[in-house]
Amino acid sequence: MREGNQYTFEGEVAPPGIGDATVDRINELNGYLTKRGAALLVAGYPIGNGNMTAEAAEFVAFQERLADRLDCPVISNYADYMFDYRYFYDTNLHLNTEGVALRTGQLISDIERWKSTGTDADMDVDEYADIIADDDLPHIDHISQYLDALRKARDRYTIIISAGDGASAAMCEEVRKGFQALGLSADWPQRAGDGHVAVVEQGQLISEEPSGTFDDGSMAYSITSGQQNQGGDSSILLNGQEYSGHAGGLKLVVYSNETHRILDEVAFDACSPESRAIR
C-alpha cells in the first residue's frame, strides 16, 4: 500500500520529445511481434496535473504526433491520464494506491475499447470536451473565472467548501452570486460568523454539516471551517485523506462524479472577484 503523497512537483510538467531512435526501435519491435502473432500497444503514462503542468491540449497534441509516427496503435487519450498532484506517491511517475486504482481502471477501459475497435484512440468523442475542461481547471487563477468554470460543469462535480475566518461574511457580491449559481442557498454567503461549510453535488446543495458522504456513499467527508475557536485552521478530509492543507480563508475541493477523482484543491480570498488562487 502506498498511502498519501510524498512527492512535490517543483518543475514544469510538459510533454516529452519524440526521438527518431526511439520511434525506429518501437516500430522495429512492433514488426518483430506482429510476425509472431502478438500485438504491441502504446498506452498513456501518469501525468501530474496542476499549476506547473502544461495545458491538456499540449499532451493531446503529443499523443497525436506519437500516433502519426508509430506503426502500432496508441490506445490512450493522454488527457485521461492527467491526475492531480495528490495522486502521486514518491516520484513524478509513481502513483499512490488511490492513483493506481484510477490509472488501472483507465488502462483496462482503453484496452477493452481497442479490442472492440482495433483502432487508435479517438479524440473526437464528445466526452473529451469534459475531460479537457477537468484537466484545465487547476490552471485557472482568478476566482470569478474559476466559479464560472465550476458553474458550466456543476452537473458533473461535487464541490466541498470550507469558509473560515469571516470569509463568508466578507464575500463580495460578484463572488456571492457565483457561489449561488453553483447551487448554494442564497443566504449562506451573507451569514455572519467565523466559518461555514457546504457540499454541493451535481448542482444540488446536499449538506451544510461537517460530516457526511457523497457519490452514492463512496466518498466520506469531514470538514472543519477554520473558525478561531477551532485554532483557525481548516480541514477537509475525504475518505480519511487531508485535502485542505490546514489553511484558513475560503477553501474548495473539486471532485468529478464522472471519473471519481479529485480534480483540484484551491484557496481564495473571497473579498475580490480578481482574487488569485493559492494551491
Calpha distance 127→53 (Å, rounded): 22
Q: What is the DSSP letter of 278?
A: B
pLDDT for 123 equals: 65
Which residues are registered as beta bridge partners of 199?
A: 160, 207
Strands 94-95 and 204-207: unpaired
User: Which DSSP helix (H) or strand (E) runs through 33?
Assistant: helix 20-35
Looking only at Cα atoms, what is the longest distance across the chain?
Answer: 73
C-beta atoms surrounding 127 within 10 Å:
10
- What SS3 class is residue 87? helix
pLDDT for 244 equals: 74
CB of 49 within 8 A of CB of 262? no
Q: Is 129 exposed, middle or buried (0-12, 13-18, 19+ CB in 10 A)?
A: exposed
Region of residue 205 (left: phi > 0; alpha: psi -120 to 50; beta: else): beta
pLDDT for 15 equals: 96
pLDDT digits (tens, 9 = 90+) for 86-145: 999 999 999 999 999 999 999 999 999 999 988 888 766 656 778 888 999 999 988 889
Calpha distance 188→47 (Å, rounded): 37
Calpha distance 139→87 (Å, rounded): 17
Within 143-258, where are the H helices?
143-152, 173-182
Q: All 3 cell numbers of residue 243?
A: 485535502
| pLDDT-flagged residues of the chain (< 50) | 229, 231
Closest CA to 178 of 211, 130, 146, 217: 146
Q: What is the DSSP letter of 128?
A: H
Handedness of CA 18, 102, 73, 34 (dihedral sign): positive
- What SS3 class is residue 160? strand
Prediction pTM value: 0.77
Angle at 249 between CA 255 and CA 221, to 5 degrees: 35
pLDDT for 48 equals: 96
- What SS3 class is residue 200? strand
Which residues are registered as beta bridge partners of 250?
A: 163, 268
Closest CA to 182 of 131, 252, 265: 252
